[in-house]
Amino acid sequence: MKSRRGYLTDPFTDLLFNALLGFTMLFMITIMFVNPLAKLGSANLKAEYIITLSWPPDLADDIDVWVEDPHGEIVSYLQKDAGWLHLDRDDRGEINDTIMVDGKEVIHRINQEVVTLRGIISGEYIVNAYFYEARSSQPIDVLLTIDKVNPTLKTVFVDRATLYQQDEEHTFVRFKLNGKGEVQSFNTLPKRLTPYALEPS
């Protein structure tokens, strides 16, 4: 609306308001790019194979799984990530079986170590069980399973062995994968993966 002297509103106020609006929009866009919204509940759980070593749940003995990939990278409790290999659970017998849930102590008596192969490197993988600490006086029956989980779950290897004494290492299997992630062959030629021998107790 015009008066004789010009506009009722000041054009400078309009210009100032538009500039402020523009700076506010630029600030909001900058915040969105600097701090993107997190996708709630999403996790990248890609896995090709899961290697599980288990032994009787009522035993306090500590058995370790050691896995070597085709490049000579070894995953164990000493190094939980190596190439595409990851040690998901290091079970120490009954030592880490107790957890707190909602303020209550819960005992999880499963003795099991789990290694996940998250990508494919063609070549030979070696899987060993190592008797780290004997807390009972009996031989330990150990079960190894290897499951292919991508694209569907399929058990490709199962075997049992008995470990008789502390510092004993047993090669369960050596298996070869091709570039597509398919198992080509198995053998049990022994190879020690642990870099040490324990002192006798």
Q: Which of 149, 134, 148, 159 is nearest to 184 (CA)?
A: 148
CATH code at 68? Answer: 2.60.60.30
Does a structural domain hold residue 44?
A: no
Reply yes or no on whether the pLDDT at 140 is more than 80. Answer: yes
Give 12's pLDDT tier (boundaries 50, 70, 90): confident
Does a structural domain hold residue 43?
A: no
Higher per-residue pLDDT: 201 or 151: 151
Does a structural domain hold residue 28?
A: no
Residue 84 pLDDT:
92
Strand, coil or helix: 16 = helix
pLDDT tens track for 38-67: 555 544 568 899 999 998 887 778 889 999
Reply yes or no on whether the pLDDT at 199 is more than 90. Answer: no
The proportion of the chain whose per-residue pLDDT surpasses 90, expressed as a percent, equals 41
Does a structural domain hold residue 30?
A: no
pLDDT tens track for 84-121: 999 887 766 555 656 667 787 766 668 888 899 999 99
| Alpha-carbon distances, residue 135 vs 60, 95, 168 (angstroms) | 6, 11, 14
Reply yes or no on whether the pLDDT at 180 is more than 70. Answer: yes
pLDDT tens track for 124-133: 999 999 998 8
Does a structural domain hold residue 150?
A: yes
| Rounded Cα gap, residues 190 and 176, in angstroms | 15
Bridge partners, 49 (sequence order): 117, 148
| Rounded Cα gap, residues 62 and 142, in angstroms | 11
Residue 201 pLDDT:
45
What is the number of domains present in the chain? Answer: 1
Residue 60 pLDDT:
79
Average pLDDT in the chain: 82
Does a structural domain hold residue 167?
A: yes
Reply yes or no on whether the pLDDT at 3 is more than 60. Answer: no
Q: Are 170 and 180 in contact (CB under 8 A)?
A: no
Does a structural domain hold residue 11?
A: no
| Rounded Cα gap, residues 62 and 197, in angstroms | 15
DSSP structure class, residue 159:
E
Structural domain boundaries, residue 152: 49-187
pTM for the full model?
0.70
Does a structural domain hold residue 104?
A: yes
